[in-house]
Structure 1
Amino acid sequence: MLLLPVLWWPTALLALVLFGDAAMSIRPMKFIQVCLDGVRFPREWWWTLVVIKLLATVGLIAGLAIPGVGFAANIGVVVYFLAAVYSHIRAGFLKQEFWLNCLGMLVLSVGVLLISYWI
């Protein structure tokens, strides 16, 4: 395992996707609202998801130059989406938002981790 990504572009792609996700979460689109309501996440806490995603974006980008930071940020993103999967399963909300958004982002973040740090 390396502390800097072997390939920079998967990490940059994940950072871009997370930034877009954070931007869409500022004024949540309908599918995001349905997802958060479906897992019964309190509306007064929705802002925390924007902060978490923006911090992860910064960590991923910083990790392109600072050893260990990107790896830690990528692990954090994986854990975030594992928690989201757990929340969906626990709430019994296994609709399209779960399969496309939640699992899709988990697969992307795990894929980036494997490609960037274990090639």
Structure 2
Amino acid sequence: MNGTPHLWWPTALLALVLLGDALLSLRPPAFIQRCLDGVGFPRDWWWVLVVVKLLAAGGLLAGLALPGVALTANTGVIAYFVCAAYAHYRARFLGQEFWFNCLGMLALSTAVLALSHAV
């Protein structure tokens, strides 16, 4: 084992999805705005989510060549969406945005970890 993903394409797919999410978050459409407002995330801090998602996508892509980086980035993405799920739960904002956006991304990032790094 060299520390890079066994399968490259799930990691690349997650990076692409996060890049798209970050680009969408630059000028958030209504469904992203509802999500962030629904959990009470301050609008002054929305830019931080763009930076985090761009860094995560970059880490995933860098990890295709650098041992351990993709695993670390993928784990960080999972932690991010676990925190997002907890924020939804605490705010009692459990509508479509929670099930599709938040838990969907948590499921995708967990599946990528399992597919790409399981022995």
Distance in 2, Cα, partners of 1:3 & 1:116: 10
Question: What is the root-mean-square deviation of aligned Cα atoms in Å?
Answer: 1.0
TM-score between both structures, scaled by the size of structure 1: 0.98
- The residue that corresponds to 1:83 in the other structure is 83
The number of residues matched between the two structures is: 119
Unmatched runs of 5 consecutive residues or more in structure 2 = none
For 1:102-117, list aligned pairs within 5 A: 102-117=102-117
Moved over 4 A (4+): none
- CA distance in structure 1 between the aligned counterparts of 2:45 and 2:29, rounded to whole angstroms: 16
Deviations 1:44-94 (A, max 9, x none): 000000000000000000000000001000000000000000000000000
AA paired with 1:61?
L
The TM-score normalised by the length of structure 2 is 0.98
Task: Give, in whole Å, the separation in 1 of the partners of 2:27 and 2:106.
Answer: 23
Q: Deviations over 1:27-49 (max 9, x none)?
A: 00000000000000000000000
8 Å Cα contact 1:2/1:118 also seen in 2 = no
**Using the alignment, how far apart are the partners of 1:106 and 1:48 within structure 2?**
19
Q: Is the alpha carbon distance of 1:65 and 1:40 closer, same or farther for their aligned partners in structure 2, counting shifts above 3 Å?
A: same
Distance in 2 of aligned mates of 1:2 and 1:113: 16
Uncovered stretches (5+) of structure 1, i.e. residues with no partner: none
Q: How does 1:1-119 map to 2 (within 5 A)?
A: 3-119=3-119
1:118 is matched by which residue type in structure 2?
Answer: A
